[in-house]
């Protein structure tokens, strides 16, 4: 059993790669917004997958790179290089969603997020943190199965999502258990090379903070259900877990419009929940052999930027929807902010294969 939890307080320190004249195998080498190197090491070719993403792939550009953008047809054979990959299984809500369909094109070398085409369908229309941590700030070839679903809550019977068709954390884990958990040839993950991340709770708290009753007790109830799903993942071989806490959505334009009293109540609710989440992560590691956990403190990250937005290139802490705004819309941070989050997560995982 690992004795130390990787609980890391956020510091806005750039995650810096070692400068290189050429990109290594499987690294990004081009695409919209890419400012890094565009040439690849010998034996690999910078291959265009779509407007957003080019990757250094062994062999020539005619190697086994998917040429279709279909999201409904799964591969009929195992793509070359899958056995050399590391895996990331992601769960969450709209802060993480890319609209991945586990019945469609699956993640594979040259298309590491599977479907839909990179960067996927995200809450603000551009890249988000999981995209970037898969293909830009990654330490290896990562194939990411992103089950996150917009509007998700932990357990729909505890906090109802905005529509009954939304997949809760329970539903997302069940998708994994019915498919990739069985370690098919297309996803030959192991306990050592697979990371399981969860960023959820935003909707659980945002849709219930105003309800009467004991908020501490309700946070415990939510986390009981949350860690029941983590135990399910452990039972099928998951050993590496990244937990992300709830950001200060009390400072979102949506909540600003609700007034100072509502903001203060949500802030207090988030603080209590986040404290309990950190304790649960530590307890889970202590109680389960071979588990390693990391916690990325999104609340601290958001707070640091929102307290001094111009220092990070943003117009202010409240505007949304335009270039230079921190917020992409009235609840979700922009893609520029997601780049900061991706660097923070990468810093937490810097000494791992991910």
Going from the N-terminus, what domains does the chain have, and what CATH number goes with each?
Answer: 27-58 (no CATH), 82-349 (3.40.50.1110)
CA 286 to chain centre: 24
Instruction: Tell me the pTM.
Output: 0.84
Q: What are the tens digits of pLDDT across the range 292-331?
A: 999 999 999 999 999 999 999 999 999 999 999 999 999 9
Q: Which two tokens stand for residue 12?
A: 């806005």
Mean pLDDT for all residues in the chain:
88
DSSP-assigned states of every residue in 80-114: TTGGG-EEEEEEESTTT-----TTSSPPBTTBTT-
CA 80 to chain centre: 25
Distance CA 82, CA 69 (A): 19
Q: Which two tokens stand for residue 17?
A: 């790669």
14 versus 336: the higher-pLDDT residue is: 336
CA distances from 350 to 10, 113, 133, 139, 290 (A): 14, 20, 11, 8, 20
Instruction: Please answer whether residues 114 and 105 qualify as being in contact, where contact means their C-beta atoms are separated by less than 8 angstroms.
Output: yes
Fill in the DSSP letter of residue 114: -
Mean pLDDT of 235-250: 98
- Give every CB contact of residue 327 below 8 A, 6+ residues apart in sequence: 252, 253, 318, 319, 320, 321, 333, 334, 337
Q: Count CB-CB contacts under 10 A for residue 260.
A: 10
Question: Sheet of 53-58: strands edge to edge?
Answer: 28-30, 53-58, 44-50
Which band of pLDDT confidence, cut at 50, 70 and 90, is reported for residue 50? Answer: low
pLDDT of 349 reads 98
- Cis peptide leading into residue 48 (ω within 30°): no
Which residues face 57 on adjacent strands?
Answer: 45
Fill in the DSSP letter of residue 11: -
For tokens 């329970």, name the residue: 170
Which band of pLDDT confidence, cut at 50, 70 and 90, is reported for residue 52? Answer: low
In the predicted model, is pLDDT for residue 75 greater than 80?
no
Q: Which two tokens stand for residue 124?
A: 């603000």
pLDDT of 110 reads 87
- Give every CB contact of residue 143 below 8 A, 6+ residues apart in sequence: 82, 85, 86, 87, 88, 107, 108, 109, 112, 114, 187
Lowest-confidence segment of 72-86, 212-226, 237-251 by average pLDDT? 72-86
- Cis peptide leading into residue 116 (ω within 30°): yes
Q: Which two tokens stand for residue 352?
A: 């791992």
Q: What are the tens digits of pLDDT across the range 28-39?
A: 788 766 778 899
pLDDT of 35 reads 76
b/e map 293-319, b = 16+ CB within 10 Å: bbbbbbbbbbebbbeebeeeebeebee
């Amino acid at each position: 059993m690992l004795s130390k939890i990787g609980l890391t307080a956020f510091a806005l320190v750039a995650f810096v790669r070692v400068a290189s004249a050429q990109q290594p195998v499987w690294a990004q080498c081009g695409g919209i917004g890419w400012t890094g190197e565009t040439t690849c090491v010998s034996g690999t070719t910078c291959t265009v997958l779509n407007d957003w993403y080019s990757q250094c792939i062994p062999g020539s550009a005619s190697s086994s790179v998917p040429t279709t953008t279909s999201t409904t047809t799964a591969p009929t054979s195992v793509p070359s290089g899958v056995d050399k990959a590391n895996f990331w299984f992601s769960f969450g809500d709209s802060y993480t969603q890319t609209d991945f369909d586990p019945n469609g094109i699956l993640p594979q070398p040259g298309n590491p997020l599977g479907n839909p085409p990179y960067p996927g369908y995200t809450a603000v229309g551009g890249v988000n943190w999981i995209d970037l941590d898969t293909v830009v700030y990654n330490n290896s070839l990562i194939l990411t199965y992103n089950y996150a679903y917009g509007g998700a809550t932990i357990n729909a019977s505890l906090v109802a999502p905005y529509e009954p068709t939304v997949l809760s954390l329970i539903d997302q884990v069940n998708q994994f258990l019915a498919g990739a958990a069985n370690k098919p040839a297309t996803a030959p993950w192991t306990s050592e090379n697979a990371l399981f991340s969860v960023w959820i709770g935003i909707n659980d708290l945002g849709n219930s903070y105003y309800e009467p009753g004991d908020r501490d007790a309700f946070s415990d109830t939510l986390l009981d259900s949350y860690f029941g799903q983590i135990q399910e993942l452990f039972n099928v071989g998951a050993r590496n877990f990244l937990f992300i806490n709830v950001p200060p959505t009390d400072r979102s334009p949506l909540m600003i419009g609700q007034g100072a009293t509502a903001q203060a109540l949500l802030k207090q609710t988030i603080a209590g929940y986040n404290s309990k989440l950190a304790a649960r992560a530590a307890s889970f590691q202590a109680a389960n052999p071979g588990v390693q956990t990391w916690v990325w403190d999104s609340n601290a990250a958001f707070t640091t930027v929102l307290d001094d937005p111009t220092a990070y290139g943003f117009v202010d802490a409240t505007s949304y929807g335009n270039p230079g705004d921190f917020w992409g819309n009235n609840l979700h941070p922009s893609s520029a902010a997601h780049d900061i989050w991706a660097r923070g997560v990468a810093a937490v995982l810097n000494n791992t294969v991910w």
